[in-house]
Amino acid sequence: MPTLRLALCQVNPTVGDLAGNSGLVREWTRRAAGAGAGAQIVAFPEMVLTGYPVEDLVFRRSFVAASKAALQRLAADLDADGLGAVAVLVGYLDADGPPQVSGDAEPGRGARNAAALLHHGRIVATYFKHHLPNYGVFDEDRYFLPGDALSVVRVGGVDVALTICEDLWQAGGPFAAARQAGVGLVLCVNGSPYELNKDDVRLPLVQRRAAEAGAMIAYVNMVGGQDELVFEGDSMIVAADGELLARAPQFVEHLLVHDVELPPAGEPGAPEQVLADGMRVVRAEAGDIPPAPTGPAVTGGTIAPVADEAEVWQALVLGLRDYVNKNRFPSVVLGLSGGIDSAVVAALAVDALGPDRVVGVSLPSQHSSEHSREDAADLAKRTGLDYRVEPIQPMVDTFLANMSLSGVSVENLQARVRGVILMALSNQEGHLVLTTGNKSELAVGYSTLYGDSVGGFNPVKDVWKTLVWRLAKWRNADAARRGDTPPIPENSIGKPPSAELSPGQLDSDTLPDYDVLDPILIGYVDGDLGRDGLVASGHDPAIVDRVLRMVDTAEYKRRQSAPGAKISMKAFGRDRRLPITNRWREDG
């Protein structure tokens, strides 16, 4: 059987950076085809040329035209680089008509989520994504029209089918067509965002599609952060019988090179064939590719999965690093209260950016305990970040001397003064302000609007409070295992959580214990359970009613919250979209 040396380039593009992304493709193709690698086919992720997702940039004809022109230039540049003989598959934005939202829209024509196979300076084949996801963070029905043809390209004596991401997540369509077309390999390019434990779902899914297609599947996924999304890679090659042949690591750029034995192509089929379900098969031929590899077979290896906490920590670090770097912020600043949330955010920031790019500010008031001040200073010493102290009480007293405030108004005033100081440091020194509210607090509105919620990015926005504690313990244990200083003070982990905005205040004064609260929130927010479902699950009806009222009335706060990396099945923002003005209540 023919042997092909296949390279999956798990790379980190930036949305809108057509020149930079083209350079990424050229650089990684050079690495894949170079000495010691010798790849004959190189595949890149979904829409790697434009970055993904491009959202409403799809509607800008100038951007679509630039994407198509960049693809043509890339094909010519690869040829000029001496890489023209290598078959290179790249995702990009295409269009065969005006945007569907325009007055001159044409039925059946418009923007396309596309992939193109480049060879010898030309575009040999183009594939338009067939299944368009329209759930969770995806709005592809808003942007794209589906393709109705499966592109099959003969490369090195093997028939290779081209597919894109969601095509893999649904039965039928392109993979069923691939079986009827008799292909030996399906290349699937992906922009599949991270969720906790999604890697456990992905392998069985690829195995099901391999069985459906009766062919080997090479799955290449993007890596990196894009606003609230994190792409973790986890690229893989699975044989037709479901055997996992190679698997890339998560959360890092990676070149996966693997020799695959594939069935030879049969007699050339008709250039175009209509299948029973209405899909068309369109065939093309790439021509000569570099010689078949000699010597020992090259294997890509397989990476063992890591613990949940390690996986989430890597996702949060990558999401934060790319948000800061891709938006060209020089550094970040955050308030250090001595509590667990700010400690975890500070440790994430140091891991993502290094201590020289992180400023931590202690903002004590008259209610700040001595142990909280000491814990903030201890964290700064452990991590080496730039530590400052800015007492807020003189500023609070000035407000109170000019306004008659009491109770929760005074508590919120303290939080807002802290926000003003952090934003002032941001304006003065150019830092991005990180806010530190966890998902549990965001869910029930336990935050001060324009106070502790102030900031440009929230690394723990999608992290439940109980998971925040687990992450802190894991990070410290991981540091100890490696012989490093644990970054998070044990006092910050062990003490009862408190906003310290009034004497002796604890979170439990206002909220149920987090061990009770989080399971209710997970059921209501992530699982869309109603009141009856939550009570049937064993939760106290009175507590359920109380929690649901807090969640429902805090929607206006969440709508104004900073973006943060998505790590759950349903994050606030892109995933969970509810009206602010809404009189429906689960308690009737």
Q: What is the 3-state secondary structure (H, E, C) of 359-404?
A: EEEECCCCCCCHHHHHHHHHHHHHHCCEEEECCCHHHHHHHHHHCC
* CA atoms of 29 and 11, how far apart (whole Å): 11
Residue range 396-450, pLDDT digits in tens: 999 999 999 888 899 889 999 999 999 999 999 999 999 999 999 999 999 989 9
Instruction: Say which of 9, 68, 165, 326 is annotated catalytic.
Output: 165
Work out the average pLDDT over 537-554.
94
Question: What pLDDT does residue 243 have?
Answer: 96
Instruction: Say which of 9, 68, 129, 232 is annotated catalytic.
Output: 129
- For residue 119 the two structure tokens come to 């060879």
Q: How sure is the predictor about 55, in pLDDT bands with cuts at 50, 70 and 90? A: very high
- The reply to whether 165 belongs to the active site is yes
Q: How sure is the predictor about 469, in pLDDT bands with cuts at 50, 70 and 90? A: very high
Strands lying side by side in the sheet with 41-43? 122-128, 111-119, 87-95, 41-43, 3-10, 254-261
Tokens 């679509």 correspond to 64
Burial (CB count <10 Å: 0-12, 13-18, 19+), residue 432: buried
Q: Which residues contact 418 (CB under 8 A, 6 or more apart)?
A: 335, 363, 392, 451, 452
Residue range 165-196, pLDDT digits in tens: 999 999 889 999 999 999 999 999 999 999 99
Q: How sure is the predictor about 273, in pLDDT bands with cuts at 50, 70 and 90? A: confident
- The reply to whether 495 belongs to the active site is no
Find out whether 210 and 237 touch, Cβ atoms under 8 Å.
no
- For residue 438 the two structure tokens come to 């966890």
Q: Give percent of the chain with pLDDT exceeding 90.
A: 77
Please check the confidence at residue 149 and state whether its pLDDT lies above 60: yes
Work out the average pLDDT over 376-396.
95
Can you tell me whether residue 237 is helix, strand or coil? strand
Question: What pLDDT does residue 276 have?
Answer: 61
Instruction: Say which of 9, 46, 411, 465 is annotated catalytic.
Output: 46
More confident residue, 275 or 142: 142
Please check the confidence at residue 507 and state whether its pLDDT lies above 80: no
Q: How sure is the predictor about 588, in pLDDT bands with cuts at 50, 70 and 90? A: low
Find out whether 221 and 233 touch, Cβ atoms under 8 Å.
yes
**Long-range CB contact pairs, 294-301, < 8 A, 24+:** 297/3, 297/259, 298/5, 298/37, 298/38, 298/257, 298/258, 298/259, 299/245, 299/246, 299/258, 299/259, 300/8, 300/237, 300/245, 300/246, 300/247, 300/248, 300/256, 300/257, 300/258, 301/246, 301/247
Find out whether 233 and 59 touch, Cβ atoms under 8 Å.
no
Tokens 């099945």 correspond to 569
As a whole number of angstroms, the longest Cα–Cα distance in the chain is: 89
* CA atoms of 86 and 78, how far apart (whole Å): 9
The winner for highest mean pLDDT among 76-80, 94-98, 108-112, 581-585 is 76-80
Question: What pLDDT does residue 425 have?
Answer: 97
* CA atoms of 220 and 164, how far apart (whole Å): 10
- The reply to whether 441 belongs to the active site is no
Q: Which residues contact 218 (CB under 8 A, 6 or more apart)?
A: 6, 8, 43, 185, 186, 187, 188, 236, 237, 260
Question: What pLDDT does residue 500 have?
Answer: 63
Q: Which amino acid belongs to residue 281?
A: V
Residue range 201-252, pLDDT digits in tens: 999 999 999 999 999 999 999 999 999 999 999 999 999 999 999 999 999 9
Q: Which residues contact 446 (CB under 8 A, 6 or more apart)?
A: 437, 440, 507, 510, 511, 550
* CA atoms of 56 and 140, how far apart (whole Å): 11
Can you tell me whether residue 341 is helix, strand or coil? helix
Q: Which residues contact 557 (CB under 8 A, 6 or more apart)?
A: 442, 445, 447, 449, 453
> What mean pLDDT, rounded, does the chain reach?
93
Q: Which of 355, 323, 563 is nearest to 442 (CA)?
A: 563
pTM as predicted: 0.94
